[in-house]
Structure 1
């Protein structure tokens, strides 16, 4: 009887505590298992003639903890990314690990109910490792297609009033906080541990040194890293984002500056083992790049449209004077279960036939290229993009199969935005690069599971082979790629 009495009080107290906690705070715990099986035959770049198809399965495993109360918000995401079979069945310490902290941020709400009649009604500060996702992830995005994704160590001040949104972000990178570190010199990440010398010897890469490729023992002034698709190599960044929403139209503007550590050309090695050339990041100062522009989008039950224009100035990461542009328009109309419409985008490039000493290649910052310039990732990702820039004329269609499944079909025609000289024979390259067709079917299997299957086919030209590989007549101009992706997202606590 006494035991039953205590149990009832315990249940009542637990229920009261639960109600109190629920009223003041929300806690979520979600997981993710995402596997993607791919067949690649020319994915991202053309293959030599007769090359075999590559097949593999990659997996992202993650768990996310979220906390939200009246004044505090916290998010932590832990991820593990690997390819099936990449590790031995019994892992040794030499195998390394791919477990990393994708997000770990806290957001403190500075405004309260008394701010409703003031100029700013919502104000918060978000600090820590976080994703930066704006507009259609064209210039700033989480690169979620990649299993490892993208995140930044940054602080973002967020302000809002009604339909207005303002974000002010800053980030500052450093390699180490170890004792004895002098200055704030910053070496880009993802530097290889070893490099081959001019004689083929393998040399360890010292701290602060980034190796570059070269011919005949001479250093090549081409960075071993890039801003999009390979590594986060800026020294610091600052940006201001503003957006205004109307009933069917949204307009946004971006002012963005990223700074890159200056460097000097250096070499490592000796006469006995040969030399490896590269960059030594121990020079004071930074090269600053400025990106600015605006985007307008509209949508209703029948139409969707978008127009945008951005410019870049300042200096590249290598210190070259920069003057570049990027603009585009697209629209689609609804017909029954179909959405279909054309679009065109132009990313400026260098005229290598008649150069003027400036760099005119637009760099799409830290966005998600996979979403915009063909799913086979030939442009503006890890394998690089043409010096002559890119014109992309496309037609996109989306079909609602039923309430659970949707099919999309994208057709791209790629060409150079500026003339490019063929250094093999001195001629001017033909402007056409090729065509790509992307077919994707996506569906919801259950509340916590989605399935996605895709197939892409590309037909390239001689010009595409040259701008991607620097060769002529040595690569197959037909490429294809297919994948099947299962995405499980259970909710353990909500």
Structure 2
């Protein structure tokens, strides 16, 4: 009876939308499973530790409603590991493992005259993904099953090839009667930024971009603030007491792309200063340059990324840049010596359905460490993606890390009796059906 009622409501909604002729309703789903074999993913294992094997699953349901004046999106998701819940109960094994949440819930309204199809001024409010440029500093981190999102407001202005976005957020743990103190330690085992930092209390950003016939140039200014706190080490235990006030961090820089026939170039440079979420004064920089040759089905590229010791890549997608095994700027810290990544990346499309990619990275600290050679190690990544249909794809990957002594030293990962080599393999099945009602 309940199924029939739901089906009737969907049919009624579709009929109403078709009658108006000015609105669209689309339903989208995703079921993505990923089976992983981890023998040192994220950090080297100590000798004697055995590899881990598990399957995680992301389940999403999205509802997008679009009219000439307003666009809304609701995306529900559930993320969990197969078997984490007992099979005969109606709740999760532990509250910390509850992976059901609202991933996106936003509305974007047109503030300008809707008679013009250009709609240059728009306001986007609510829980949303922030994706800019190559996602190095601001991205949705889609590789992680839970992804990344922000509770924010973004004002957008677009005129021909120029776009200007400005936005901000102000976080609180709950409705309060007085004060704005914010406990910025995220729940569970997840860090807020790409480098293990706490969640911001507030943030503001300005992003301007200009599209050229064969490229793009964009400027970013990002500021985030963190709640101040005092630490007490009495009795050998470390305790944190939140205080009124905030530390401010500022990041600014430029991103460029340009295409010369079959050659594509990109470069970026960012400067970061102020105080981070731990109250430490910082002065960091990031430089990146890359080029690729794309004659057809084959793509060959090379590049280098350099981050100085105090730079934090904010809220981006590190899995896309610094090796698929996520040794750097991901879940496991690697010291405060910065990173120099020299890489070669290749892709070949053997058919309309099969894409094979192979990458090689040489990782080194940006600054030397006394007593060690200036190298973290080398990583090789191989990924094959097969598209069965528009809605169904398969992806398999294998990565190998050859680590040098510096990586497992106290100055970096601090792994006692670490293995010198690490492996990681996965198989991911991605199913994404979609339905459109006009």
Q: TM-score of the superposition, structure 2-length normalised?
A: 0.91
Relative to 1, partners in 2 of residues 1:437 and 1:390: Cα closer, same or farther, differing over 3 Å?
Answer: same
1:394 is aligned, of 343, 346, 358, to 343
1:63 maps to 61
Cα shift at 1:62: 0.7
1:278 maps to 239
2:183 maps to 187
2:171 is aligned, of 169, 173, 177, to 173
1:340 is aligned, of 300, 306, 317, to 300
Cα shift at 1:54: 1.0
1:456 maps to 399
Distance in 2, matches of 1:460 and 1:296, equals 33
Give CA deviations for 1:405-462 in whole Å, capped at 9, x if unaligned: 1111110000010123xxxxxx433211100000011121112111111000010000
Q: Which runs of 5+ in 2 are unaligned?
A: 1-11
Cα shift at 1:30: 0.7
Relative to 1, partners in 2 of residues 1:15 and 1:309: Cα closer, same or farther, differing over 3 Å?
Answer: closer
1:44 maps to 42
Counterpart secondary structure, 1:289: strand
Distance in 2, matches of 1:334 and 1:101, equals 39
Counterpart secondary structure, 1:280: strand
Cα shift at 1:318: 1.9
Pair 1:364-2:294 in alignment: no
Distance in 2, matches of 1:14 and 1:168, equals 35
Pair 1:379-2:380 in alignment: no
2:223 is aligned, of 233, 257, 266, to 257
Relative to 1, partners in 2 of residues 1:61 and 1:234: Cα closer, same or farther, differing over 3 Å?
Answer: same
Give CA deviations for 1:55-99 in whole Å, capped at 9, x if unaligned: 100000010000110000100000000000111112365533211
Relative to 1, partners in 2 of residues 1:299 and 1:386: Cα closer, same or farther, differing over 3 Å?
Answer: farther
Relative to 1, partners in 2 of residues 1:111 and 1:140: Cα closer, same or farther, differing over 3 Å?
Answer: same
Pair 1:309-2:269 in alignment: yes
Distance in 1, matches of 2:258 and 2:131, equals 19
1:106 maps to 107
Q: How does 1:229-244 map to 2 (within 5 A)?
A: 233-244=199-210
Q: How does 1:389-428 map to 2 (within 5 A)?
A: 389-420=338-369, 427-428=370-371
Cα shift at 1:191: 4.6
Cα shift at 1:469: 3.2
Relative to 1, partners in 2 of residues 1:300 and 1:19: Cα closer, same or farther, differing over 3 Å?
Answer: farther
Distance in 2, matches of 1:185 and 1:52, equals 43
Give CA deviations for 1:149-187 in whole Å, capped at 9, x if unaligned: 010000000111000111101000001104xx4310000
Pair 1:469-2:416 in alignment: no
Cα shift at 1:43: 0.2
Distance in 1, matches of 2:340 and 2:306, equals 5
- How many residue pairs match? The answer is 422
Relative to 1, partners in 2 of residues 1:83 and 1:17: Cα closer, same or farther, differing over 3 Å?
Answer: closer
Query: In the alignment, is the contact (CA less than 8 A) between 1:341 and 1:395 conserved in 2?
Result: yes
Distance in 2, matches of 1:314 and 1:64, equals 39
Counterpart secondary structure, 1:88: coil
1:429 maps to 372
Relative to 1, partners in 2 of residues 1:342 and 1:225: Cα closer, same or farther, differing over 3 Å?
Answer: closer
Query: In the alignment, is the contact (CA less than 8 A) between 2:44 and 2:415 conserved in 1?
Result: no
Query: In the alignment, is the contact (CA less than 8 A) between 2:195 and 2:312 conserved in 1?
Result: no
Counterpart secondary structure, 1:370: helix
Pair 1:159-2:157 in alignment: yes
Cα shift at 1:266: 3.2
Distance in 1, matches of 2:87 and 2:323, equals 36
Q: How does 1:67-82 map to 2 (within 5 A)?
A: 67-82=65-80
Distance in 1, matches of 2:362 and 2:318, equals 16
Cα shift at 1:482: 0.5
Distance in 1, matches of 2:88 and 2:103, equals 26
Relative to 1, partners in 2 of residues 1:341 and 1:62: Cα closer, same or farther, differing over 3 Å?
Answer: same
Query: In the alignment, is the contact (CA less than 8 A) between 2:110 and 2:119 conserved in 1?
Result: no
Q: TM-score of the superposition, structure 1-length normalised?
A: 0.81
Q: Which runs of 5+ in 1 are unaligned?
A: 1-12, 194-223, 269-273, 350-360, 421-426
Cα shift at 1:125: 0.5
Give CA deviations for 1:2-54 in whole Å, capped at 9, x if unaligned: xxxxxxxxxxx999955433x21011001100000010100000001132121
Relative to 1, partners in 2 of residues 1:454 and 1:383: Cα closer, same or farther, differing over 3 Å?
Answer: same
Query: In the alignment, is the contact (CA less than 8 A) between 2:17 and 2:23 conserved in 1?
Result: no
Query: In the alignment, is the contact (CA less than 8 A) between 1:190 and 1:231 conserved in 2?
Result: no
Cα shift at 1:398: 0.7
Query: In the alignment, is the contact (CA less than 8 A) between 1:188 and 1:231 conserved in 2?
Result: no
Distance in 1, matches of 2:422 and 2:15, equals 63
Relative to 1, partners in 2 of residues 1:225 and 1:266: Cα closer, same or farther, differing over 3 Å?
Answer: farther
Counterpart secondary structure, 1:262: strand
Counterpart secondary structure, 2:401: strand
